[in-house]
A and B are shown apart, each in its own frame.
Chain A
Amino acid sequence: MMEPAAYLLLSGILFGIGVVGVVARKNALIILMSVEIMLNGVNVAFIAVGSHLGDVTGSVFAFMVMTVAAAEAAVGLAILIAIYRLKETIDITELNVLKW
């Protein structure tokens, strides 16, 4: 089996692309998808090192990350629907009521 270094690099690249999506986009839906990409990048690292060490903990942690990601997507999208009903927009720069 391959050394995990390449997988860790791929994990970092996926996480970085997710960060770009979160900081550079205005569309709240795409920001939520970018968060999913970041969590997937983390999972790649967990699985790569876990299988390298022959330890099942990597898979268990990735499983927990997936659970949190599913919960986050459900709640995040519900908040998005509530916001759209109220403000008729999903542009996060227009949602600045709490901004001082």
Chain B
Amino acid sequence: MEPILFVIFGAIAVGGAIMVVTRRHPMASALYLILTLFAVAALFVLRQAHFLAAIQVIVYAGAVVVLFIFVIMLINVPVHKLPVERVTGLRFLGVLAAGLLILESAVLTRRFAMPRASAVDAGSVQAVGKALFTDYLLAFEITSVLLLAAVIGAIALAKKKI
């Protein structure tokens, strides 16, 4: 069952990602980004990472993309003033390099082999929560400082007059 679902959700994720980078209007891109994020969340469920799947939907689709849509509506660039994309030599080279990157990952993962561990519950809320509040407590607490800095920085940058 897993291979079929993997192909379905993987195709949705890749198709959504391609639509994100090819749409002209950022609002269409943001909506396709939601599609990609949900497909990736489904892939997390396939790998038994239930906690991360929930966080993916709540934090990414629920907060980050909403932030994007807020900003798109806030600055509201008229369609005729959207940047016109032209194919230049440098840009073509960049796309070529990205294609090579994909090809390289295909070659590298073809012979990927790793010993399989005994089946343990590694992605459940219980397991991740226990790890976060014991072994990784310091990193988890520093994360809160990072988020605080991001909140203060975002307000300071976007405010008209401080």
Which residues of A are in contact with B by a Cβ distance under 8 Å? 1-21, 23-27, 29-30, 32-34, 36-37, 40, 43-44, 47-60, 62-64, 66-75, 77-82, 84-85, 89-93
Interchain CB contact under 8 A, B116 and A52: yes
Q: How large is the interface on B (under 10, 10 to 19, 20 to 34, 35 or more residues)?
A: 35 or more
Partner of B105, one of A13, A63, A85, A92: A13
Partner of A82, one of B123, B130, B158: B158
Which residues of B are in contact with A by a Cβ distance under 8 Å? 2-3, 6, 10, 13-14, 17-18, 20-21, 23, 26, 29-30, 33, 36-37, 40, 43-44, 47-49, 51-52, 55-56, 59-60, 63-64, 67-68, 71-72, 74-75, 77, 81-85, 91, 94-95, 97-99, 101-102, 104-106, 108-110, 112-114, 116-120, 122-123, 127-128, 130-132, 136, 139, 143, 146-147, 149-151, 153-158, 160
**CA A12 to CA B99, docked complex, whole Å:** 10
Q: Which residue of B lies closest to A56 (CB)?
A: B131
**CA A65 to CA B136, docked complex, whole Å:** 14
Measured between beta carbons, the chain B residues less than 8 angstroms from A7 are 6, 43, 47
Q: How near does chain A come to B144, taking the closest CB pair, in angstroms? A: 9
